[in-house]
């Protein structure tokens, strides 16, 4: 791929397309620093694999994040599964999960993400856009159907949002039941996944402030890339549990109750990982 064809993040262009009113220059510069525009573009510019599955490892190397895998024996390329994971930190678990999938499944995986992240070109082919805050459009719904019908492994974060602080404790947000419904419908076993780690106190405070003010968006979201870069030099533990057969999810419980059961299985996976509990 030639240098001039490499995707670059341009906050000025994004704001021009998304915001009708021109923002003050100091605010634009603040956003550029918080999303690390210069560093991300430097990573893309010097990456050997600036687009596609190889970029997961390129990005992890650039931000100096490492990981350990537990339960690798539960990863079976011959089985079509839904991987249901907790959502503690945002960027790191997405890059780590992509790197693990590359090792065991090549390019045969997809993950639903918010429709903004879906436009991140280096990894766009693995992302399926969803609307995290409301009903799905017909186009998005059709895309999700194609994903679950496909031979690809599907990675989901049923909480939809990163963990938050509640009563002084970092807490995973309630899980949505959709992955249970799709597991049964498309006969996909569910693999519980636990990722270690948690975000900074500043992120948690901004998230709590958004909730307190009744805002429709999470102020902390603007900090997620910054949180990623704060994890430089850290090692995380990703743990895979035993696949749960789709036939398990029968009428003896509601889909929400089954979703809560899988979440409980994920919580148990953090035992013995040598890191502080995060959910």
CA distance 38 to 22: 22
Q: Quote the Cα angle for 170-62-26, to 5°.
A: 70
Helix or strand or coil: residue 46? helix
Residue 48 is classified by DSSP as S
Question: Along the 279 residues of the chain, how does pLDDT read in single tens digits?
Answer: 444 457 777 778 777 766 677 778 887 787 788 778 888 888 888 888 888 899 999 999 999 999 999 999 999 999 999 999 999 988 899 999 999 999 999 999 999 987 667 667 888 899 988 866 556 677 778 889 999 999 999 999 999 888 887 877 888 999 999 999 999 999 999 999 999 998 888 888 777 776 766 655 566 667 788 888 899 999 999 999 999 999 999 999 999 999 999 999 999 999 988 776 655
CA distance 49 to 93: 20
Packing angle between helix 55-62 and helix 91-105, nearest 10 degrees? 140
Lookup: tokens for 111: 């993950």
- Domains of the chain: which residue ranges? 47-268
Domain boundaries 47-268, corresponding CATH code: 3.40.1130.10
Q: Residue 3: what pLDDT?
A: 45
Half-sphere exposure of 62 (CA within 13 A, CB side): 24
């Amino acid at each position: 791929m030639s240098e001039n064809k490499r995707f670059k993040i341009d906050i000025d262009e994004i704001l021009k397309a998304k915001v009708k009113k021109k923002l003050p220059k100091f605010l634009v510069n603040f956003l550029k620093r918080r999303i690390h525009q210069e560093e991300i573009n430097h990573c893309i510019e010097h990456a050997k694999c600036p687009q596609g599955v190889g970029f997961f490892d390129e990005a992890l190397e650039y931000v100096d994040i490492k990981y350990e895998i537990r339960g690798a024996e539960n990863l079976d390329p011959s089985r079509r599964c839904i991987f249901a994971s907790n959502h503690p930190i945002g960027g790191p678990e997405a890059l780590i999960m992509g790197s693990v999938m590359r090792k065991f499944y090549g390019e045969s995986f997809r993950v639903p993400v918010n429709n903004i992240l879906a436009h991140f070109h280096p990894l766009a082919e693995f992302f399926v856009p969803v609307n995290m805050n409301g009903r799905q459009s017909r186009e998005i719904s059709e895309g999700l159907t194609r994903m679950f019908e496909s031979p690809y492994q599907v990675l989901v974060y049923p909480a939809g949002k990163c963990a938050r602080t509640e009563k002084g404790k970092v807490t995973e947000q309630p899980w949505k039941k959709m992955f249970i419904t799709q597991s049964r419908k498309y006969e996909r076993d569910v693999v519980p996944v636990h990722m270690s780690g948690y975000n900074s106190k500043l992120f948690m405070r901004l998230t709590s402030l958004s909730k307190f003010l009744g805002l429709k968006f999470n102020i902390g979201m603007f900090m997620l890339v910054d949180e990623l870069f704060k994890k430089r030099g850290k090692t995380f533990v990703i743990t895979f549990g035993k696949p749960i057969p789709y036939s398990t999810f029968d009428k003896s419980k509601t889909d929400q109750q089954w979703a809560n059961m899988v979440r409980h299985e994920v919580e148990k996976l953090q035992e013995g990982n040598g890191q502080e509990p995060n959910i």
